[in-house]
Structure 1
Amino acid sequence: MRNGMKSEKLAWLIRRHGIEMTHLSGGSHIGAVLSVADIIAVLYANILDYKPEEPKWNGRDRVILSKGHAGAAIYAALAESGFFPVEELKTHYQNGGRLSGHVSHHLPGVDFSTGSLGHGLSAAAGIAYALKKDQKAGRVFAVLGDGECDEGSVWEAALFANHFRLNNLIAVVDHNHMQSLDFQENTLEIEDFGSKWRAFGWNVIEINGNNHEELKAAFQKAKENGKESEHKPMMILANTVKGCGISFMQNDILWHYRFPHDGWEYDCAVNELHQTKPEGVEDPYTPEGIPNPVLPTESDDINNDHTLTYTWKTTYPEKMRRVEAKSGSGEREYRV
């Protein structure tokens, strides 16, 4: 069952909910929410089989958001798809609420709690294996971040999935090319990314992960994957833009952790989204946008490079050196 909403509309709502949820809660990872929004929207609007009124339906497709820190995107998609009231999204990160910062299985429609990076693909492979052994319907979709592919557990799961020919497993990497405090290639080189997955026995499709038509075509090919004689698992490398949809958040690592504060950050983010709002979509928070927005000034930190590569200087601290000094106990002393 689909939610009946076009993927483009759902993607816009995921972004709008994400801005509001992180703004209200002071929670992190809006950049990751924005980059994965199109992937999640196409899944829930066009691809997945599910029943909101029966979340544990045996024939359902499973989604494991391995990059669980982008959980606001899944929460928004589930709410808009009827799993729980949209109004509950305002309780994101709140004490006593169900919408924890990382994905929680206490929500209907969530099969596995995630956020400890590198675990999601292993869980997804195990579920896919169990479904095949029991000859049950349903596919398993694992959505990974590219940064977590530095984890060895990801590649162990990749080997496992190939060995057991898990053609009911479709993995998607939200390849936004940034992680933690820098660009991915500056943190730990991973390219040629596609060749690595092919070497591990996977079928690989590389696409623009913010383009809905390319996403739909890739997922359709993944659905047909199970009919192929080689029975390989499928990897979709979805090249995306961190912070996609908000100009001052795009490709800025600052927004991996930062949330939209009161003032120009929130006002400008909302109004930029309103400039791309699809026809027929209602903003549940600011229906007309922000009439008199606060705008950034020259003193505000905007459109700057915040990557570790740019800000880290090898001269910090300038005169750091190790001085080996012998003391009565024979211990080494480190001085500046």
Structure 2
Amino acid sequence: MASYHKPESNTIQELKDIANKLRIHSIRSTQVSKSGHPTSCSSMAEIMSVLFFHTMRYKVSVPKDPSNDRFVLSKGHAAPILYAAWAEAGLFPTSELLNLRKLDSDLEGHPTPRLNFVDVGTGSLGQGVSVAAGMAYVGKNYDKANYRVYTLVGDGESAEGSIWEALNFASYYGLDNLCVIVDVNRLGQTQATSLAHNMELYRTRLEAFGFNALVVDGHDVEELVKAFHEAQNTRGRPTAILAKTFKGKNFPDIEDADNWHGKALGDRAEGVVRHLTSLLKNPGPLALHPQKPLAEDAPSVNITGIKLSAPPNYKIGEMIATRVAYGTGLAKIAANNDRVIALDGDMKSSTFSEKIKTVDPTRYIECFIAEQNLVGVGIGATCRDRTVAFVSTFATFLTRAFDQIRMGAISQTNLNFCGSHGGVSIGEDGPSQMGLEDLAMFRSIPGSTVFYPSDAVSTERAVELAANTKGICFIRTSRPNTPVIYKNDAVFAVGKANVIRSSPKDQALIVAAAVTLTEATLAADQLAKVGINVRIVDPFTIKPIDAATIIKNAREVNGRIVTVEDHYPEGGLGDAVLAAVAAERDIVVKKLAIPVVPRSGPSAVLIDLYGIGARGIVAAVNEILKL
């Protein structure tokens, strides 16, 4: 380990002064906004002072330079002190801190990437360590750069299981470029945290998870400087700095007191500010400069214009599961761009994400059965546009990570998801394994794109399109084999549906995808035998839905639409079509979907039993034609 040199006494004093200046800024900004968390800011003031003005290496003028050290504020409610640190570092005038929480200010109540110094949105607790671990994994294994990743966690949020999923991941992969700081200030929102100030128990738990665990006085800047030095020089495992602190530190009559969480100090504020000002030895401009020597060694990355390395190669009518084609498409784009990576939750042989390993085994990240961390790591991996990441597991298991997914959208993340085993068509495994809510979940995410490819050709193209589409993308794949219906040179686009079957005599429009598209084709054949012609549309994307194509074709068949989906009725394909035609006159929509919690059974039997097979479609068409 590199030898530790104790900072000069004037450096120690200035770091103390900076901590108290950050406290003053936090009080004043929350006073103006009449809301916020000044006591939560105060407990971490020395940590922020040492990190931003002694330890971290970054360009103040370019906060997201790829070679900068990273900082993730997991306890996002302490945003005022994060803003204060960047202002004191010189990124923007400290006077702007008084715009905290104003409608026209990006200094929001919790951090979001509307700010150029914030990588991810935080505030939904328990997610910062996963994101930081994703950043650290990329830094260590792909960028192979010297930047380090720091994340500050509240002791209250350490009750979240996702924190421990992330700690396990970081230890397993030996992320020695990651430092997790736990602000152990003892108090939660309504009472003491479960471990209070039992620092030895914290140490024991972190060591059991494979961390280099250091217990420090979180208000002693010299102890913090030394601990961060040790973290920087620890090899083979991540470090956790367990900082014993006090909520409202240096706030007279408020320090370590109950009932001050999430409150501006009100009429106490000026007295506290006077006390903090009296503690300053150098109230003037900073002598310390936050700019540290930076190893500009993060490589240049190009993640634009990603293409399949070869076009789809299938035969019309060939039976291929879309989940298999997903793996093929993933491997093809990985072959064309070395920044395409895959993450999975021990389902790689079912989702077929493992196919990327045939191109480069190092670009597959096993996250094990810990879906919240799986998603968080994916978010971290895509920060600063370092990778194009695809997160895969059973569609139904992604529901466990809905909070991480929605925070990914708030974080302006470009992250791709593949949910396999959608619907009752998976068969005998039963309802716990059936994705029946996934379309609704991903449609609800702001700015998301939801792909539901129906065959192998369209699946490969969905993978290619997702890799180049901003925001959260979701690709739904199916377990059963389905026939190839498109030519290998077919062109696909986001928001563009395809008419699969049509004639001038069509009397109804069926909108279906994947397994139900196959059933719709069978139903159309049966209906044709009795003189009823129907048109079939494959939507390709459920969000955005191709409203123009649906409306045009519906009008050509007298406004009669039947939607068929292997999904619950709420929020899926049927509701997307209903929304598309809501303002149109004389269009009737009948939805076929899974109406109840299904049972186990053979795929074909379940599809028929729950009314989304050919028999149910024929009945629905006959019924809607009577309207």
TM-score interval, normalised by the smaller of the two chains: 0.7 to 0.9
Deviations 1:91-114, CA, capped at 9 Å, x for gaps: 001111110111222222222211
- 1:269 maps onto 2:240 in alignment: no
Identify the match of residue 243 of structure 2 among 216, 238, 246: 238
Identify the match of residue 55 of structure 2 among 37, 44, 47: 47
Aligned 1:83-102 pairs, distance under 5 A: 83-102=91-110
Residue aligning to 1:18: 26
- 1:254 maps onto 2:254 in alignment: no
Aligned 1:298-317 pairs, distance under 5 A: none
- Amino acid paired to 1:271: R
- 1:59 maps onto 2:72 in alignment: no
Contact map agreement 1:103 1:113 (CA 8 A) in 2: yes
C-alpha change, 1:250 and 1:243, in structure 2 (3 Å) is same
- Distance in 1, Cα, partners of 2:204 & 2:245: 19
Query: SS state of the match for residue 144, structure 1?
Result: strand
Identify the match of residue 141 of structure 2 among 133, 139, 146: 133
- Distance in 1, Cα, partners of 2:153 & 2:76: 9
- Larger RCO: Structure 1 or Structure 2 (Cα < 8 Å, ≥ 6 residues apart)? 1
- Distance in 2, Cα, partners of 1:205 & 1:246: 26
- Amino acid paired to 1:158: L
Residue 190 of structure 1, CA deviation: 9.1
- Distance in 2, Cα, partners of 1:160 & 1:27: 36
Residue aligning to 1:158: 167
Query: SS state of the match for residue 73, structure 1?
Result: helix
Deviations 1:31-89, CA, capped at 9 Å, x for gaps: 10000111011001100011011122121000001001001111000011122221211
Unaligned runs of 5+ in 2: 1-10, 286-627
Residue 191 of structure 1, CA deviation: 6.6
- Amino acid paired to 1:25: S
Identify the match of residue 75 of structure 1 among 62, 83, 86: 83
Aligned 1:163-182 pairs, distance under 5 A: 163-182=172-191
- Amino acid paired to 1:235: A
Residue aligning to 1:33: 41
- Amino acid paired to 1:19: I
Cα RMSD of the aligned pairs, angstroms, is 2.1
- Distance in 1, Cα, partners of 2:239 & 2:195: 27
Unaligned runs of 5+ in 1: 283-336
Structure 1 range deviating more: 40-49 or 102-111: 102-111
- Distance in 2, Cα, partners of 1:81 & 1:214: 22
Contact map agreement 1:209 1:238 (CA 8 A) in 2: yes
- Amino acid paired to 2:254: M
- Amino acid paired to 2:43: S
Residue 9 of structure 1, CA deviation: 2.4
- Distance in 2, Cα, partners of 1:170 & 1:98: 27
Residue 245 of structure 1, CA deviation: 1.1
C-alpha change, 1:186 and 1:122, in structure 2 (3 Å) is closer
- Distance in 2, Cα, partners of 1:210 & 1:177: 14
- 1:193 maps onto 2:198 in alignment: no
Residue 28 of structure 1, CA deviation: 2.0
Q: So what's the TM-score if we normalise by structure 2?
A: 0.42
Query: SS state of the match for residue 173, structure 1?
Result: strand
Contact map agreement 1:6 1:45 (CA 8 A) in 2: no
User: How many residues of Structure 1 are paired with residues of Structure 2 in the alignment?
Assistant: 274
Give the structure with the larger strand fraction. 2
Residue aligning to 2:472: none
Deviations 1:140-194, CA, capped at 9 Å, x for gaps: 001000000000000000110011110000000000011111111389x997111
- Distance in 2, Cα, partners of 1:164 & 1:240: 30
- Amino acid paired to 2:246: V
C-alpha change, 1:139 and 1:12, in structure 2 (3 Å) is same
C-alpha change, 1:6 and 1:109, in structure 2 (3 Å) is farther
- Amino acid paired to 2:241: I
Contact map agreement 1:249 1:255 (CA 8 A) in 2: yes
Contact map agreement 1:9 1:281 (CA 8 A) in 2: no
Contact map agreement 1:83 1:108 (CA 8 A) in 2: no
Contact map agreement 1:84 1:108 (CA 8 A) in 2: no
Query: SS state of the match for residue 260, structure 2?
Result: helix
- Amino acid paired to 2:19: A
Residue 136 of structure 1, CA deviation: 2.2
Query: SS state of the match for residue 225, structure 2?
Result: helix
Residue aligning to 1:322: none
Query: SS state of the match for residue 151, structure 2?
Result: strand
Contact map agreement 1:52 1:109 (CA 8 A) in 2: no
Q: So what's the TM-score if we normalise by structure 1?
A: 0.78
Contact map agreement 2:277 2:283 (CA 8 A) in 1: no
- Distance in 1, Cα, partners of 2:16 & 2:269: 22
Which segments of structure 1 move beyond 4 Å, counting only runs of 4 or more?
none
Query: SS state of the match for residue 213, structure 2?
Result: strand
Residue aligning to 1:287: none
Larger Rg: 2
Residue aligning to 1:278: 281
